A = this chain, B = another copy of it.
Amino acid sequence: MKIGILGTGIVGATLGSKLVQLGHEVKMGSRTANNEDAMKWAKSNGAKASNGTFSDAAAFGDIVFNCTAGVVSLAALKLAGSGNLKGKVLVDVANPLDFSKGMPPTLTVCNTDSIGEQIQRTFPNVKVVKALNTMNCKVMVNPSLIPGDHNLFVAGNDAQAKAQVRDLLESFGWKEGAIIDLGDITASRGTEMFFPLWLRLYGLFPNQNFNLRIAK
């Protein structure tokens, strides 16, 4: 499959590398075509990895991952272009973190809205699936880092898009039963608002290799 990754940070790079390892062709997009991090990433990930602008990556991908910082996601997606994204599945991994007021970060949007919903409203022709934003990126692509069962959430308005994302997540190693479908895109509020608790937990633990399990 051809996959576009928007964002050149650790989340985009980790997801992009995993997707290349799984045999996909991946183009990492950024604001400029010659972003250093994106060029380095493409160079070190072989022939199936490339880079370009947000627009290039969005046009390239059959599926597109939003791995930009939540605070700039809408701007990045506008640069990616609604025409390039039209009809496609957009996996939104972002959390709307605001570091401008110091630590801990607050959320730029929450409670009555979410970045997942904002993206879906701004791009009504895109099939937004919120996923993976409740854990560190190493866990996203390698759930076996954590022993035993633990969970991953997906949310979105389009059932077929969610099924496609689930297949991709299962190829990462997530068990079918570990993926919890929370319903429509408004459930993004719940997964984004989990971040403050995640951050407190991270403060207690030696590393980010932890995740939620819903015990019942």
Contacts and interface: CB of A to CB of B under 8 A. Distances in A.
Given A111-B106, A193-B197, A194-B197, A212 B209 contact: no
Nearest to A196: B190
Interface in A173-202: 180-183, 187, 189-191, 193-194, 196-201
Interface residues of A, number: 38
A197 B213 CA distance: 13
Contacts of A181: 204
B180 A204 contact: yes
A150 interface: yes
Given A106-B112, A189-B196, A196-B189, A201 B182 contact: yes
Q: Tell me if A's interface is mostly helix, strand, loop or mixed.
A: mixed
A47 interface: no
Contacts of A191: 197
A178 to B, nearest CB: 10
Contact of A193 (B110, B112, B209): B110
B214 A212 contact: yes
Given A146-B215, A210-B215, 11 more contacts: A107-B111, A110-B111, A111-B196, A183-B203, A187-B197, A187-B200, A193-B193, A212-B212, A212-B214, A213-B213, A213-B215
28 contacts: A106-B111, A106-B112, A107-B111, A146-B215, A146-B216, A150-B215, A153-B197, A180-B204, A181-B204, A182-B201, A182-B204, A187-B200, A190-B198, A190-B199, A190-B200, A191-B197, A193-B193, A193-B194, A193-B196, A193-B197, A194-B194, A210-B214, A211-B214, A211-B215, A212-B212, A212-B213, A213-B214, A213-B215
